[in-house]
Protein backbone atom coordinates (compact mmCIF):
# COMPACT_ATOMS: atom_id res chain seq x y z
CA UNK A 1 0.00 0.00 0.00
CA UNK A 2 1.95 3.04 -1.16
CA UNK A 3 1.24 5.91 1.22
CA UNK A 4 3.19 8.44 -0.78
CA UNK A 5 4.86 8.64 -4.13
CA UNK A 6 6.19 5.45 -5.60
CA UNK A 7 9.27 6.85 -7.26
CA UNK A 8 12.53 5.26 -6.20
CA UNK A 9 14.90 7.36 -8.25
CA UNK A 10 17.92 8.46 -6.24
CA UNK A 11 20.01 10.06 -8.93
CA UNK A 12 22.17 12.90 -7.77
CA UNK A 13 20.86 16.34 -8.56
CA UNK A 14 22.36 19.49 -10.10
CA UNK A 15 22.22 22.10 -7.42
CA UNK A 16 24.10 25.05 -6.06
CA UNK A 17 24.39 25.64 -2.34
CA UNK A 18 24.48 29.11 -0.86
CA UNK A 19 24.73 30.50 2.66
CA UNK A 20 22.02 32.97 3.64
CA UNK A 21 22.54 36.01 5.87
CA UNK A 22 21.48 34.05 8.93
CA UNK A 23 23.92 31.28 8.21
CA UNK A 24 21.25 28.92 7.13
CA UNK A 25 22.15 26.72 4.25
CA UNK A 26 19.61 27.15 1.54
CA UNK A 27 19.78 24.88 -1.41
CA UNK A 28 18.68 26.45 -4.61
CA UNK A 29 17.91 24.56 -7.69
CA UNK A 30 20.45 25.85 -10.17
CA UNK A 31 18.08 26.15 -13.01
CA UNK A 32 14.99 27.34 -11.22
CA UNK A 33 14.31 29.74 -14.06
CA UNK A 34 14.50 26.93 -16.52
CA UNK A 35 12.15 24.84 -14.44
CA UNK A 36 9.68 27.68 -13.96
CA UNK A 37 9.63 28.50 -17.61
CA UNK A 38 9.17 24.86 -18.45
CA UNK A 39 5.62 25.00 -17.14
CA UNK A 40 3.91 24.35 -20.39
CA UNK A 41 0.36 25.13 -21.35
CA UNK A 42 -0.33 21.44 -21.00
CA UNK A 43 1.05 21.48 -17.47
CA UNK A 44 -1.01 24.53 -16.54
CA UNK A 45 -4.15 22.82 -17.73
CA UNK A 46 -3.17 19.66 -15.91
CA UNK A 47 -6.22 18.12 -14.32
CA UNK A 48 -5.61 15.59 -11.51
CA UNK A 49 -8.86 13.83 -12.35
CA UNK A 50 -7.30 12.72 -15.63
CA UNK A 51 -4.33 11.15 -13.86
CA UNK A 52 -5.91 9.09 -11.11
CA UNK A 53 -3.96 6.14 -9.72
CA UNK A 54 -6.85 3.80 -9.12
CA UNK A 55 -4.78 1.27 -7.20
CA UNK A 56 -3.87 3.96 -4.63
CA UNK A 57 -7.54 5.03 -4.44
CA UNK A 58 -8.44 1.40 -3.79
CA UNK A 59 -5.83 0.95 -1.03
CA UNK A 60 -6.67 4.20 0.73
CA UNK A 61 -10.35 3.28 0.65
CA UNK A 62 -9.59 -0.14 2.11
CA UNK A 63 -7.40 1.50 4.76
CA UNK A 64 -10.18 3.83 5.91
CA UNK A 65 -12.79 1.07 5.94
CA UNK A 66 -10.28 -1.02 7.92
CA UNK A 67 -9.85 1.85 10.38
CA UNK A 68 -13.61 1.91 10.98
CA UNK A 69 -13.44 -1.83 11.69
CA UNK A 70 -10.44 -1.23 13.98
CA UNK A 71 -12.50 1.37 15.88
CA UNK A 72 -15.29 -1.19 16.27
CA UNK A 73 -12.82 -3.76 17.66
CA UNK A 74 -11.33 -1.12 19.98
CA UNK A 75 -14.74 -0.48 21.53
CA UNK A 76 -16.17 -3.99 21.63
CA UNK A 77 -13.34 -6.48 21.63
CA UNK A 78 -9.77 -5.32 22.17
CA UNK A 79 -8.07 -4.80 25.52
CA UNK A 80 -7.65 -1.22 26.75
CA UNK A 81 -3.93 -2.01 26.83
CA UNK A 82 -4.00 -2.53 23.07
CA UNK A 83 -5.64 0.86 22.59
CA UNK A 84 -3.03 2.54 24.79
CA UNK A 85 -0.31 0.73 22.88
CA UNK A 86 -1.80 1.85 19.54
CA UNK A 87 -1.87 5.44 20.81
CA UNK A 88 1.79 5.19 21.88
CA UNK A 89 2.72 3.70 18.50
CA UNK A 90 0.94 6.58 16.74
CA UNK A 91 3.00 9.08 18.75
CA UNK A 92 6.20 7.13 18.13
CA UNK A 93 5.57 6.96 14.39
CA UNK A 94 4.89 10.70 14.22
CA UNK A 95 8.07 11.43 16.14
CA UNK A 96 9.92 9.73 13.27
CA UNK A 97 8.25 12.26 10.98
CA UNK A 98 8.49 15.44 13.06
CA UNK A 99 11.90 15.10 14.72
CA UNK A 100 13.32 12.79 12.09
CA UNK A 101 12.55 13.24 8.45
CA UNK A 102 11.13 16.75 8.88
CA UNK A 103 13.25 18.78 11.30
CA UNK A 104 16.48 16.78 11.00
CA UNK A 105 16.72 15.38 7.49
CA UNK A 106 14.56 17.77 5.44
CA UNK A 107 15.60 21.01 7.13
CA UNK A 108 18.88 20.26 8.93
CA UNK A 109 17.51 22.28 11.85
CA UNK A 110 19.77 20.39 14.27
CA UNK A 111 22.29 17.57 14.32
CA UNK A 112 21.86 14.11 15.77
CA UNK A 113 24.35 11.46 16.86
CA UNK A 114 24.21 8.00 15.33
CA UNK A 115 22.09 6.29 18.05
CA UNK A 116 19.42 8.99 17.77
CA UNK A 117 19.47 8.84 13.98
CA UNK A 118 19.00 5.08 14.09
CA UNK A 119 16.10 5.51 16.53
CA UNK A 120 14.53 8.17 14.28
CA UNK A 121 14.91 5.91 11.25
CA UNK A 122 13.19 3.13 13.21
CA UNK A 123 10.31 5.48 14.09
CA UNK A 124 10.16 6.51 10.45
CA UNK A 125 9.74 2.91 9.33
CA UNK A 126 7.01 2.48 11.98
CA UNK A 127 5.20 5.41 10.32
CA UNK A 128 5.32 3.93 6.78
CA UNK A 129 5.16 7.30 5.05
CA UNK A 130 7.84 6.48 2.51
CA UNK A 131 11.56 6.28 3.05
CA UNK A 132 13.41 9.17 4.65
CA UNK A 133 14.97 9.98 1.30
CA UNK A 134 11.71 10.26 -0.65
CA UNK A 135 9.85 12.08 2.13
CA UNK A 136 12.62 14.67 2.49
CA UNK A 137 12.89 15.17 -1.27
CA UNK A 138 9.16 15.83 -1.62
CA UNK A 139 9.25 18.13 1.39
CA UNK A 140 12.14 20.21 0.10
CA UNK A 141 10.24 20.67 -3.15
CA UNK A 142 7.15 21.63 -1.14
CA UNK A 143 9.06 24.41 0.63
CA UNK A 144 10.85 25.62 -2.44
CA UNK A 145 7.76 25.85 -4.63
CA UNK A 146 4.91 26.19 -2.15
CA UNK A 147 1.48 26.64 -3.76
CA UNK A 148 2.77 26.23 -7.30
CA UNK A 149 2.42 23.41 -9.82
CA UNK A 150 5.77 22.09 -8.62
CA UNK A 151 4.46 21.73 -5.05
CA UNK A 152 3.48 18.05 -4.62
CA UNK A 153 0.73 19.03 -2.14
CA UNK A 154 -0.32 22.30 -3.79
CA UNK A 155 -3.15 23.54 -1.56
CA UNK A 156 -4.40 25.82 -4.34
CA UNK A 157 -5.97 22.68 -5.74
CA UNK A 158 -8.20 22.48 -2.68
CA UNK A 159 -8.35 20.77 0.70
CA UNK A 160 -8.90 17.25 -0.61
CA UNK A 161 -6.01 17.38 -3.07
CA UNK A 162 -3.49 18.68 -0.51
CA UNK A 163 -4.76 16.22 2.11
CA UNK A 164 -4.83 12.90 0.27
CA UNK A 165 -5.73 13.58 -3.36
CA UNK A 166 -2.11 14.16 -4.35
CA UNK A 167 -1.37 10.55 -3.40
CA UNK A 168 -4.21 9.29 -5.55
CA UNK A 169 -2.99 10.72 -8.85
CA UNK A 170 0.21 10.97 -10.82
CA UNK A 171 2.54 13.82 -9.97
CA UNK A 172 2.30 17.05 -11.93
CA UNK A 173 5.11 17.18 -14.55
CA UNK A 174 6.71 20.11 -12.68
CA UNK A 175 6.90 18.10 -9.46
CA UNK A 176 8.79 15.34 -11.27
CA UNK A 177 11.06 17.84 -12.96
CA UNK A 178 11.97 19.62 -9.72
CA UNK A 179 12.09 16.45 -7.63
CA UNK A 180 14.84 15.09 -9.87
CA UNK A 181 16.93 18.23 -9.39
CA UNK A 182 16.72 18.87 -5.66
CA UNK A 183 20.02 18.45 -3.86
CA UNK A 184 19.78 15.32 -1.75
CA UNK A 185 23.51 14.58 -1.53
CA UNK A 186 23.67 15.49 2.17
CA UNK A 187 20.96 12.96 2.88
CA UNK A 188 22.47 10.13 0.89
CA UNK A 189 25.79 10.70 2.63
CA UNK A 190 24.12 9.67 5.87
CA UNK A 191 24.48 5.87 6.11
CA UNK A 192 21.33 5.67 8.24
CA UNK A 193 19.29 7.20 5.43
CA UNK A 194 21.05 5.11 2.81
CA UNK A 195 20.39 1.80 4.55
CA UNK A 196 16.85 2.71 5.57
CA UNK A 197 16.13 3.30 1.88
CA UNK A 198 17.94 0.17 0.77
CA UNK A 199 16.06 -2.04 3.24
CA UNK A 200 12.88 -0.01 3.35
CA UNK A 201 10.45 -2.84 2.54
CA UNK A 202 11.72 -5.31 5.16
CA UNK A 203 12.04 -2.49 7.70
CA UNK A 204 8.40 -1.54 7.15
CA UNK A 205 7.23 -5.16 7.37
CA UNK A 206 8.97 -5.52 10.73
CA UNK A 207 8.57 -2.06 12.29
CA UNK A 208 5.23 -0.96 10.84
CA UNK A 209 3.29 -4.24 10.80
CA UNK A 210 4.98 -7.14 12.61
CA UNK A 211 6.09 -5.61 15.90
CA UNK A 212 2.83 -3.71 16.64
CA UNK A 213 0.89 -6.93 15.92
CA UNK A 214 3.05 -9.29 17.96
CA UNK A 215 3.79 -7.10 21.01
CA UNK A 216 0.16 -6.92 22.29
CA UNK A 217 -0.23 -10.66 21.69
CA UNK A 218 3.00 -11.57 23.47
CA UNK A 219 2.79 -9.23 26.45
CA UNK A 220 -0.89 -9.15 27.39
CA UNK A 221 -2.50 -11.94 25.43
CA UNK A 222 -4.31 -9.80 22.86
CA UNK A 223 -5.47 -11.72 19.78
CA UNK A 224 -3.30 -11.17 16.71
CA UNK A 225 -6.46 -10.17 14.83
CA UNK A 226 -7.35 -7.35 17.25
CA UNK A 227 -3.73 -6.20 17.50
CA UNK A 228 -3.41 -5.92 13.73
CA UNK A 229 -6.61 -3.96 13.12
CA UNK A 230 -6.16 -1.63 16.10
CA UNK A 231 -2.39 -1.11 16.51
CA UNK A 232 -1.53 -1.27 12.81
CA UNK A 233 -4.48 -0.27 10.60
CA UNK A 234 -6.43 2.11 12.84
CA UNK A 235 -3.23 3.65 14.22
CA UNK A 236 -1.82 4.07 10.70
CA UNK A 237 -4.96 5.66 9.29
CA UNK A 238 -5.14 8.13 12.17
CA UNK A 239 -1.44 9.03 11.95
CA UNK A 240 -1.63 9.51 8.19
CA UNK A 241 -4.61 11.84 8.42
CA UNK A 242 -2.92 13.82 11.19
CA UNK A 243 0.19 14.23 9.02
CA UNK A 244 -1.86 15.17 5.97
CA UNK A 245 -3.59 17.93 7.94
CA UNK A 246 -0.28 19.82 7.93
CA UNK A 247 -0.51 20.02 4.13
CA UNK A 248 -4.24 20.74 4.02
CA UNK A 249 -5.68 22.46 7.13
CA UNK A 250 -2.42 24.18 8.16
CA UNK A 251 -2.19 25.65 4.66
CA UNK A 252 -5.69 27.10 4.88
CA UNK A 253 -6.96 27.81 8.38
CA UNK A 254 -5.26 29.96 11.01
CA UNK A 255 -3.41 33.17 11.69
CA UNK A 256 -0.50 34.46 9.57
CA UNK A 257 1.52 36.74 11.88
CA UNK A 258 4.96 36.26 10.30
CA UNK A 259 4.16 36.41 6.60
CA UNK A 260 0.66 37.36 5.58
CA UNK A 261 1.45 36.80 1.92
CA UNK A 262 1.73 33.01 2.13
CA UNK A 263 -0.94 30.38 2.68
CA UNK A 264 0.64 28.38 5.56
CA UNK A 265 -1.02 29.35 8.84
CA UNK A 266 -0.74 28.85 12.61
CA UNK A 267 -3.06 25.99 13.46
CA UNK A 268 -3.14 24.80 17.08
CA UNK A 269 -5.38 21.79 16.37
CA UNK A 270 -2.94 20.46 13.81
CA UNK A 271 -0.10 21.03 16.29
CA UNK A 272 -1.91 18.99 18.91
CA UNK A 273 -2.38 16.11 16.47
CA UNK A 274 1.17 16.19 15.09
CA UNK A 275 3.44 16.70 18.11
CA UNK A 276 3.91 20.39 17.29
CA UNK A 277 3.93 20.77 13.51
CA UNK A 278 0.94 23.09 13.12
CA UNK A 279 2.77 26.40 13.52
CA UNK A 280 3.03 26.46 9.79
CA UNK A 281 3.22 30.19 9.08
CA UNK A 282 6.26 30.36 11.35
CA UNK A 283 7.72 27.20 9.87
CA UNK A 284 7.45 28.32 6.24
CA UNK A 285 8.94 31.70 7.25
CA UNK A 286 11.80 30.20 9.32
CA UNK A 287 12.16 26.60 8.05
CA UNK A 288 15.60 26.21 9.65
CA UNK A 289 14.23 26.67 13.19
CA UNK A 290 14.33 23.34 15.08
CA UNK A 291 11.31 24.28 17.21
CA UNK A 292 9.02 25.28 14.29
CA UNK A 293 7.45 27.98 16.49
CA UNK A 294 8.32 30.73 18.95
CA UNK A 295 6.24 29.24 21.74
CA UNK A 296 8.69 26.88 23.41
CA UNK A 297 7.07 23.62 24.49
CA UNK A 298 3.50 24.85 24.02
CA UNK A 299 1.73 22.03 22.16
CA UNK A 300 5.12 21.09 20.77
CA UNK A 301 6.24 17.85 22.39
CA UNK A 302 8.77 17.21 19.62
CA UNK A 303 10.79 20.23 20.78
CA UNK A 304 10.63 19.09 24.41
CA UNK A 305 11.87 15.59 23.50
CA UNK A 306 14.68 16.98 21.35
CA UNK A 307 15.80 19.19 24.24
CA UNK A 308 15.68 16.11 26.47
CA UNK A 309 17.93 14.22 24.05
CA UNK A 310 20.30 17.17 24.02
CA UNK A 311 20.97 16.56 27.74
CA UNK A 312 22.76 13.38 26.68
CA UNK A 313 24.47 14.97 23.71
CA UNK A 314 22.36 12.96 21.26
CA UNK A 315 20.84 16.09 19.68
CA UNK A 316 22.88 19.27 19.28
CA UNK A 317 23.60 22.19 16.96
CA UNK A 318 20.07 23.54 17.28
CA UNK A 319 19.27 26.42 14.95
CA UNK A 320 16.70 29.03 15.85
CA UNK A 321 15.30 32.32 14.65
CA UNK A 322 16.18 35.02 17.18
CA UNK A 323 13.53 37.46 18.45
CA UNK A 324 15.30 40.18 16.43
CA UNK A 325 15.01 38.17 13.25
CA UNK A 326 11.35 37.45 13.93
CA UNK A 327 10.60 41.12 14.61
CA UNK A 328 12.40 42.22 11.46
CA UNK A 329 10.46 39.74 9.39
CA UNK A 330 7.14 40.72 10.91
CA UNK A 331 7.90 44.37 10.14
CA UNK A 332 8.52 43.42 6.55
CA UNK A 333 5.87 40.82 5.76
CA UNK A 334 3.89 40.10 8.92
CA UNK A 335 0.87 41.33 10.77
CA UNK A 336 1.24 44.38 13.00
CA UNK A 337 0.36 43.89 16.64
CA UNK A 338 1.97 40.49 17.04
CA UNK A 339 3.94 40.30 20.29
CA UNK A 340 7.21 38.46 19.74
CA UNK A 341 8.40 36.22 22.58
CA UNK A 342 11.53 37.92 23.94
CA UNK A 343 12.86 35.12 26.11
CA UNK A 344 12.77 31.69 24.54
CA UNK A 345 12.02 28.93 26.99
CA UNK A 346 14.28 26.50 25.24
CA UNK A 347 17.27 24.82 26.72
ZN1 LIG B 1 9.08 21.78 6.57
ZN1 LIG C 1 3.75 23.39 4.25
Contact predicate 152/158, CB 8 Å: no
How far does residue 300's CA lie from ligand 1's centre (Å)? 15
Distances (CA, A) of 297 to 179, 197, 222: 33, 32, 35
CA distance 122 to 125: 5
Q: If we measure between CA atoms, which residue out of 206, 243, 227, 236 comes closest to residue 83?
A: 227
The closest ligand to the CA of 246 turns out to be 2
Ranges of the chain whose pLDDT falls below 70: 1-44, 344-347
Ligand that lies nearest to the alpha carbon of residue 155, given by its number in the listed order: 2
Q: Which residues contact 67 (CB under 8 A, 6 or more apart)?
A: 233, 234, 236, 237, 238
pLDDT tens for each residue of 285-309: 999 999 999 999 999 999 999 999 9
Cα separation, 80 vs 74, whole angstroms: 8
- Please state the separation of Cα 278 from the chain's center in Å: 11
What pLDDT was estimated at residue 18? 33
Q: What pLDDT is attached to residue 48?
A: 87
The CA 147 to ligand 2 mean position distance, Å, reads: 9
User: 121 alpha carbon to ligand 2 midpoint, in Å?
Assistant: 22
**What is the Å distance from ligand 1's center to 336 Cα?**
25
- φ/ψ of 264, rounded to 5, equals -55, 135
Residue 249 alpha carbon to ligand 2 centre in Å: 10
Q: Which residues pair with 266 in a beta bridge?
A: 255, 279
Cα(333) to ligand 1 centroid in Å equals 19
How many Å lie between the centroid of ligand 1 and the Cα of residue 322?
18
Query: Which has the closest alpha carbon to 91: 200, 194, 243?
Result: 243
Distance in angstroms (rounded) separating the CA atoms of residues 137 and 117: 18
Q: 284 Cβ partners below 8 Å, 6+ apart? A: 143, 146, 259, 262, 264
Do the strands 315-316 and 25-29 form a parallel or antiparallel pair, or are they unpaired? unpaired
pTM score of the predicted model? 0.86
d(CA 217, CA 214): 5
Do 231 and 89 touch, CB atoms closer than 8 A? yes
Secondary structure of 233-253 in the HEC alphabet? HHHHHHHHHHHHHHHCHHHCC
**15: exposed, middle or buried (Cβ count in 10 Å: 0-12, 13-18, 19+):** middle
Contact of 243 with 94, CB cutoff 8 Å: yes
Q: What's the 263 CA to ligand 2 centre distance in angstroms?
A: 9
What is d(CA 337, CA 324) in angstroms, rounded to the nearest whole number?
15
Every domain of the chain and the residues it spans: 51-147+157-247, 253-347
Amino acid sequence: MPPQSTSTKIDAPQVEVSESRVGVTQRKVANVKEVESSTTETAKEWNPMEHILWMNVFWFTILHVGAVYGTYLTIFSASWKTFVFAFFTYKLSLFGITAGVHRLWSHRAYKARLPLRIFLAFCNSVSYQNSIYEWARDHRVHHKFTETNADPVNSKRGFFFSHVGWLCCKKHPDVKLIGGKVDMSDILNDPVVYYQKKYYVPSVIVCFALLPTVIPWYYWGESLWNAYWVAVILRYCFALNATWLVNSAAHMYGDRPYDKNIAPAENITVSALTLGEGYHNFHHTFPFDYTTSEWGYRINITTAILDFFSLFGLAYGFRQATPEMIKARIARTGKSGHEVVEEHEYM
